[in-house]
Every structure is written in structure tokens, then in C-alpha cells.
Amino acid sequence: MLRGLSIKNFALIEQLQVSFDSGLITITGETGAGKSLLLGALGLLLGKRADLSSVKDSSAKCFIEGVFDIAKYDLQPFFEEEELDYEEETIIRREILPSGKSRAFINDTPVTLQSLSGLGEKLIDIHSQHQTLEVTSSDFQFKVLDALAGADREIESYKRGLRLLKQKEKEVKVLIESQEEFNKEYDYNTFLLKELEEGKLKPGELPELEERYEQLNNIEEIQEYLSQSVSLVNAEEIGLSDQLNAIKANLSKIETYSGTLKELSDRIQSIYIELDDVNTSLQDEMEKLEADPEQLEELSQRLQLIHNLQVKHAVSTIEELIVIKDELHEKVSKTESLSDDIDKLKKEITTIQSQLDEVAVKIHDKRNKALPKLTNELEDILKALGMPNASFNASLELQEKYLSNGKESLEFLFSANKGGSFGELKKVASGGELSRIMIAIKSILSRYAQLPTIIFDEIDTGVSGEVAHKMADLMMDMSKNLQVFSITHLPQIAANGQSHYKVFKEDINDATVTQLKLLNEEERIKEIAEMIGGKDISDSALTHARSLLFN
């Protein structure tokens, strides 16, 4: 609900500050007095783009601020999503700087126009004869029907299911695309994997293979030099063993004469022991050596296999080949498992579709039950609004396709004349007829849903007499559930307002400015009398005005 509006330096409005109550608020004034300026200022407040040309004094800042009571609107989720401080009394501010730059604030937090517009559409709903095409859209018609059908729980369940269905369908599409891509490489990857698996590669085996190959490939040379080494150690008299033994005997005879000699004797003893151990190892190595042409060939083939794999995969170690093998295994396995994953997802999709179908039927049943009620109420209201022959022919038909709010199409046909043919609203209804249909729909909606503040901008144009009274009564009934503004030229509607404001122009300091004034009782009588009979107010006009106000 709009509690207060402040405007400064906007078009012909120099400075204006006004408070509003709940209920029906009527705004009157002569043509050109500036009623459209109020709507223009509200439009900026609700997210429309700013234009420096609308600023009264381009050297000063333009300022528009609205105070809203949003306690009943359940807007906490919106504020959380936008990361804004939630206040039951929320202040929206719009500024246009002399530079032309525009700024917007919600509860003193800077916001984008997108955020401002998102909140604005939840706070104020503006209707004029030129803005009634919404009533011809299928989405709006479903919104009205669903308000009467009471299918909110089912529709929310359906929407959750539809989101899940779209998610699963997207996952299947991605998997199928991956499968097609993997299938192109599957045969080649399988061949490469088989080749690597047959290689039975082991980490760290290459150095061992190369060493064993070198031994077998050079066995004769190794045997020759080992034999010569053993001979050098063991030859009589000239062998290393005998010579060291002789040195050891000589030193043992003199080692008692000094510590140094003793140390030398011990060192020779150690060398002798080490040489004896080396001699044993040389002989052992010689005994182990044996030519093995078959093993040599096997080693050669094994090394060649590893080398070929390294060249093919452009790597230098067995460990890298093993990594490639594991990656290929994962690709091949994934390709082979994709079919299972796709089948599993398709089964999930079938289950979700089945559940959605069940919910869609429940929604359809509730809508079908509410549809006659909606058309009957509309026809009754329109008869009171001067359209006695208005008639609707509405039907629902279940579709195969999953739509955003169910699985059905709504055909909402209209005829304004008795015996006339039915047609789509946007094709057969005039602007005045659409205006009355819209106010009738909003009247019905106000009884079943919490609506934002509604502003009717001269939506009563072309209406008079008893129909004007009926329209005034309709607005009055709506105002019991929500705040209603009516910018009107009809005295019947003006008199029904619980608050009555007048827009007028006056000259101040050689400048024309637009003002907005809350009328007291006597001022209302005079204003309504002028609306009835013109500037020259007659006694009968005053009497009529009083009867409208007090009856």
C-alpha cells in the first residue's frame, strides 16, 4: 500500500508531499492539470527509465520518494534474493541528477532499475484504457482462473516437477552428445587400451630390463674380464693375495716397535680381508654367468615393445604410459557405461512425466470446476457495467506438451452482442469493453488473492449514468481488500472515494506549477458539483453533489 509520496523538481511539480490512507482514493482535476505527471513520477519510482527533459529545473536534482506498507505482500523472499534489508515500511527513492544520471534506492540501498522494476510490479498495478491488453493474454487468463480454482498447491508441485523434468532432459541431452562424441573415438581408444594392457607394464621395470639385457648381450666380455681379475688375485707368487699375505707377514714382525707400524699392519690386514671377500664375489659372479640366447631375445623384444609404446604416445617413462592406460580405461568405461546412464535417466524422466501427468489432471479438474464460476461472475459484473449481452465461451483442453503452468490450453472467447459470434478478446473487444472486462477481473481477483495497489487511470472514460454508479460501487468493494486509486472524470466515482484529492495548476512567482490537495468536505462538494455542472455551479448541482457524497 502506498502510504506517502514526495516529488521535487519534476515537470510542473516544484515540490509535493502527500500521504494516503487505505481504501478507495479518488483523484480529480481538469484536463491538463497534471494528473499524468503523478503517474509519470510513479512510473519513475517503479523502475521506468529517466529522462532529463522531465526535470523542471535542469540545474537541480529531481527527487521522487514513495513510502509503502508491504506487511501483507509476503515479499521477504524478494528482499533476500536481492540482498536488501526487509522493512514492513519500505522506502523507494529515485533521483535524477543535473548530469542526467539516474539513481535508485530501496531502503537507502542503491539498486539497479531491474531490481526496482521487480519490486515495483509487486507494489502498484496501473491500468488505463491503453493498458488493458494484458487481459487478452493466456498467462493472465490462467492467473485469474487459478485464483478461483484454488489449485496453488498443485500448480507449485507441477512447477517443481517441471523444473526437475527439464533438468533431467538437459542431462540426457548432454550424455547423448557425449556418447556420440565418445563413440567416434571408442574403437581407437579400445585398440590403444588393449595394446597397453597386453604390455603388462610395471612401474620401475625398465632399468632392470635394460641392465639384464646389457649383461646377457655382453656375457663373453664380462666372463673374460672376471676370469682375468680372479687370476690376478689368486696367481701363485705374483697374485695379489700372495703379495698382500707377504706384506702382512713382514709387518707383523715389526708392528710392536711403534704405533704407526701397528696401524699399518692392521690396515694391511683389513685390505687382505676385503680382497678375500672380493675374490669370493668374483668367483660367485662367474659361476652365475651363463649365456641364454632365448632370454636375450625375449628381453630384446620386451624393450622394443616398450620403446614403440613410448614413441607412439610421445612419453619417456613406463609410469607415463600407465597414466595414459588408466585415462584410456576411464574413457572406454565411460563410453560403455553411458548407455546405462542414459537408460537410467530416461526411466527417471518417464517417472517424472507420469507424476506430472497426475498433477496436471488434478489442476485441470480444479480449473474446469472454476471456469463456469469465473465466466458467470464476469458476465454478472459486466451486465452491471452496461454490457447486458456480454458473454464468454471458455474451455480447457489437455495437451501433450508440458507448459509452464500445466498441460492445457485455455480458449477464452467473448461476444459483446446478443446472438453475436464469439471471438478472441483482442480481436472482438473494443478498448472500452476491455477496460470494463479488466476492472471486472480485478474485482474478482481482489476477493481471492492479495493484489498490489491498483491505480485506474480514467478507465471509466465513456461511462455515465447508472453504469457509473455500478463502477463506483465495484471500486468501493475492491477497496475493502486493497488500496485503490481512481483518476476519474465521473462525479459518481469521485464521491465514492474515502479520500478525494484534486490536481490543479496555479501560478507562483511567475511560474505555473502543479499541486495536489486533499479536499475537505466542503471542497469535495464544490469539486463534485463542478464535475456535474461545470464552473458555474448551480444549486441543483450542489444538491446533487451532496446526495452523491452522503447517500
Give per-residue pLDDT as tens, 425-452.
Answer: 888 888 778 888 888 988 998 888 888 9
| pLDDT of res. 522 | 94
Q: CB-side exposure of 94: number of CA atoms within 13 Å?
A: 29
Q: What is the percentage of the chain residues whose pLDDT exceeds 70?
A: 98
| pLDDT of res. 234 | 78
| pLDDT of res. 129 | 63
Query: How far apart (Å, rounded) are the C-alpha atoms in residues 119 and 113?
Result: 10
| pLDDT of res. 69 | 95
Query: How far apart (Å, rounded) are the C-alpha atoms in residues 175 and 344?
Result: 11
Task: Characterize 369-387 residue by residue with b for buried, 16 or more Cβ atoms within 10 angstroms of its Cβ, and e for exposed.
Answer: ebbeebbebbbebbebbbb
Interstrand relation of 499-508 and 24-28 (parallel, antiparallel or unpaired): parallel
Residue for grid cell 493466456: 138
Residue for grid cell 479488466: 438
Residue for grid cell 454490457: 387
Query: How far apart (Å, rounded) are the C-alpha atoms in residues 443 and 449?
Result: 10
**Residue 252 grid coordinates:** 707383523
In terms of pLDDT, which residue wins out, 54 or 5? 5
Confidence band, pLDDT 50/70/90 cuts, at residue 330: confident
Nearest CA to 84 out of 117, 51, 107, 61 is that of 107
| pLDDT of res. 524 | 94
* CB-based contact 27:503 (threshold 8 Å): yes
Q: What is the percentage of the chain residues whose pLDDT exceeds 90?
A: 38
Query: How far apart (Å, rounded) are the C-alpha atoms in residues 289 and 295?
Result: 13
Nearest CA to 320 out of 303, 331, 306 is that of 306
| pLDDT of res. 173 | 92
**Residue 131 grid coordinates:** 493498458
Q: What is each CA distance from 361 to 66, 335, 356, 358, 371, in whole angstroms?
A: 44, 39, 9, 5, 15
Residue for grid cell 540545474: 59
Q: What is each CA distance from 106 to 61, 119, 265, 524, in whole angstroms?
A: 18, 9, 101, 35
| pLDDT of res. 133 | 64
Chain segment 137-191, per-residue pLDDT in tens: 888 888 889 989 988 899 999 999 999 999 999 999 998 888 877 777 767 778 8
Mean pLDDT of 393-404: 91
| pLDDT of res. 195 | 85
| pLDDT of res. 95 | 92
SS (H, E, C) 517-531: EECCHHHHHHHHHHH
* Cα separation of the two ends of the chain: 27
3-state class (DSSP) for residue 315: coil
In terms of pLDDT, which residue wins out, 131 or 247? 247
Query: How far apart (Å, rounded) are the C-alpha atoms in residues 369 and 372?
Result: 7
Which of 89-93, 300-304, 458-462 is least confident?
Answer: 458-462
* CB-based contact 340:382 (threshold 8 Å): no
Confidence band, pLDDT 50/70/90 cuts, at residue 27: very high
Chain segment 346-366, per-residue pLDDT in tens: 999 999 999 999 999 999 999
| pLDDT of res. 499 | 94
Q: What is each CA distance from 377 to 150, 250, 441, 442, 447, in whole angstroms?
A: 16, 135, 9, 12, 12
In terms of pLDDT, which residue wins out, 214 or 499? 499
Confidence band, pLDDT 50/70/90 cuts, at residue 306: confident
**Average pLDDT over all residues of the chain:** 87
| Number of CB atoms found within 10 A of residue 313's CB | 17
Query: How far apart (Å, rounded) are the C-alpha atoms in residues 530 and 201?
Result: 103
Helix H or strand E encompassing 477: helix 465-478
Mean pLDDT of 57-71: 91
Helix H or strand E encompassing 454: strand 453-457
| pLDDT of res. 224 | 81
| pLDDT of res. 131 | 59
* CB-based contact 149:367 (threshold 8 Å): yes
Helical H runs in 46-112? 76-81
